Amino acid sequence: MLTVYSAPGTRAIRVIWVLEEIGAKAEVKSMPYPPRKHAPDYFAVNPTGMVPVLIEGEVRLGESMAICDYLATKHGSPLVVAPDDPERAPFLEWLWYGESTLMTPLSRLNIVRQVDSKAPAVEAIMAGARDHIAQRLKMLEERLDGRDFLAAGRLTLADISVSYPLYLVGQLGLDALLGPRSAAYRDRLRARPAYQRAVAIA
């Protein structure tokens, strides 16, 4: 039996979205956010208290994109670009762009904005993070010129990876940093029936 631990507004949405895209069944255990505060028993499942976690037999994974790759590869899904495909290299580039290049300054901004201070140092860190986000979003805007998806002319895990930081862009009130192609791209991803089903589950 496949079990996924989730919480609203977290990277777990990526995993549930993949499950919906590939038509795989799983028991989704959704908890209040953050689980480490509201579901203390969850530490027995994941000592960090973070989601997602996938458990399938002896397999236990806690990185959202590792889980997505595991599921999509296991099911032979076109969400993964094959190693011999010419689009493999851009697929990998944008797969990691979502969780590293774009998520890094978003995470920094999200943490610092919780500090109850208007100190110049705090404001400078926040301004720097916003500048980094703006620069990195320009890369996405350029990539989407003439494209509906980031690689291989179809939805792939690269798009699912990037979808979460784009969600955070909205949550952090940074939509003004999105170019028109990026904003339309985010809307296309959110309009997918599998994504909408995933949001209802997560």
Domains of the chain: 2-79 (3.40.30.10), 88-192 (1.20.1050.10)
- Which residue from 162, 149, 154 is spatially nearest to 95, judged by alpha carbons? 162
pLDDT at 38: 86
pLDDT at 202: 80
Q: Is 32 helix (H, G, I), strand (E, B) or coil?
A: coil
pLDDT at 1: 87
The CA distance from 79 to 195, in Å, is 14
pLDDT at 160: 98
The CA distance from 134 to 169, in Å, is 10
| Mean pLDDT, the chain cut into blocks of 10 residues (202 residues total) | 94 98 96 87 91 97 97 98 98 97 92 78 85 96 98 98 97 96 98 97 86
The CA distance from 48 to 167, in Å, is 23
Q: Is 95 helix (H, G, I), strand (E, B) or coil?
A: helix
pLDDT at 104: 92
